[in-house]
Amino acid sequence: MFKYLKNIFNPLPSFFDICVAGFLSILFVKGGNSRSIFIVFYIAFIVALSIGMKPKRQYKSLPLTLLVIWSAISVFIHSFDIYPFVARYPNYYLMVEGFLYIFLGALFIRTVIIYSTNLKFVYFLFPIAILPWYTGLVRTGSTTPIAALGASIVAYLFLSKRFKAGILIAIPGLIIAFLHRSWIFMKFSCRPLIWGQLAKNMFYHPVRKEGNEIIDVGIQLSPFLEKVFDKYIPENIQPWFATLFGSGFSQYVGGNYTWVDKDNYGWLFRQNDYLALGEYLGPVAFVFVMWFVIESLVKIGARLPIIGFMTVALVCFAQQTMFIPGKAGIYLMIGVVCLANSIRRNET
């Protein structure tokens, strides 16, 4: 046991590592807006600490770079003019076009990987971090995170060529899923409709009305782009062409919901972070984020941390996670620690 602990804390975590672990204190911050502010400024604190440090690893990610650049461009694609930024400054530093969230999230990933010394001890803190998530599972009967964790464990065992162990875990899991199939089908009944609608919205997001009332404003473009479209793009293909840029992070309706036309479902929880991002910023952003996930899985390889990273990736596929500050902070932390612990120090 002592030998195992010695390995965990060798080398000793730095002050920077302890501060990175402090990001989990988002659990004790109450309220979505307060958690949004915490994410923004705590990541700024982590980046500030790194300025006086020497790099411990090398890390680069082309898809993450492209996603941040595209998100920055999207601010000007969808913004109406400069004045609202000044008038609504709090919105700008929190969530305008989602750019700062995406930018700071990418900066957090890069900074932690490059400057952390040893984050293995953070694994012991994850049970504390996911306790609120677990109580939420019990309350709502959600099966997605458990299924994602089980699938990730089985995938890790197969990737590490421990086929017997993988089969021994997979079979009971499949049996349990089969016995509870009615509950699982009920919980997932709306997801195909939501995923289909989000996928359609990436390529055509119309204005929706109920009578004379607008319930979804569709694509929002800057006045400059609207003039360009009116002058050069035929009217019948303008909505299709505009959707390539995404709808923008609209505050007109709740950002956690999407309108599903079929069978009068109305507004439903988005239940897919990747498709939601694709709707907000267009199919280009969807490609970049999926590219980043695949790239990260390849970097981790058949190592134990792939379980944590893959679990987060799968949960994001079936739930609304990264757009909710409290969940986003925890899942971002889990993902970056798993990725950082898989890249050797001074690796080139």
Dump pLDDT digits (tens) for 48-87: 999 999 999 999 999 999 999 999 888 888 775 545 544 5
Tokens of 1: 């046991």
Q: What is the mean pLDDT of residues 287-313?
A: 95
* Burial class of residue 206 in the structure, from the number of CB atoms within 10 Å of its CB (0-12 exposed, 13-18 middle, 19+ buried): middle
Give which of 72, 61, 85 is closest to 285, Cα–Cα.
72
Tokens of 15: 């002050």
* pLDDT for residue 132 is more than 90: no
In a domain, 87, yes or no: yes
CB 133 within 8 A of CB 330: yes
Residues contacting residue 57 through CB under 8 Å, at least 6 positions apart: 113, 114, 116, 340, 343, 344, 345, 346, 347
In a domain, 124, yes or no: yes
- Return the half-sphere exposure (C-beta side, CA atoms, 13 A cut-off) of residue 311: 25
In a domain, 240, yes or no: no
Q: What is the mean pLDDT of residues 168-182?
A: 89
- Res 97: pLDDT: 56
With bands split at pLDDT 50, 70 and 90, how would you rate the model's confidence at 243? confident
CA distance 53 to 19: 14
Alpha helices in 233-321 (DSSP H): 238-243, 273-281, 283-300, 306-318
Residue type, 118: N
Pick the more confident residue, 250 or 64.
64
With bands split at pLDDT 50, 70 and 90, how would you rate the model's confidence at 214? confident
With bands split at pLDDT 50, 70 and 90, how would you rate the model's confidence at 216? confident
In a domain, 96, yes or no: yes
Pick the more confident residue, 74 or 140.
74
Domain of 84 in residue numbering reads as 2-189+276-340
CB 300 within 8 A of CB 306: yes
Q: Kindly write down the DSSP assignment for every residue of 257-281, as one continuous string.
A: EEEE-GGG-EEEE---HHHHHHHHH
Q: How far is CA 68 from CA 73, 92, 311, 312, in A?
A: 9, 16, 24, 20
In a domain, 83, yes or no: yes
In a domain, 227, yes or no: no
- Res 156: pLDDT: 95
- Give the number of domains in the chain: 1
- Res 348: pLDDT: 39
Q: Tell me the average pLDDT of the chain.
A: 85
Which of the listed ranges 149-153, 237-241, 245-249, 287-291 does the model predict with the highest average pLDDT?
A: 287-291
- Res 254: pLDDT: 60
In a domain, 10, yes or no: yes
* pLDDT for residue 287 is more than 90: yes
Reported pTM: 0.88
The conformation of residue 213, written as its DSSP 8-state character, comes to E
CA dihedral 100, 60, 324, 187 (to 10 degrees): 150
- Res 344: pLDDT: 84
In a domain, 43, yes or no: yes
* pLDDT for residue 4 is more than 70: no
Pick the more confident residue, 61 or 235.
61
Pick the more confident residue, 278 or 217.
278
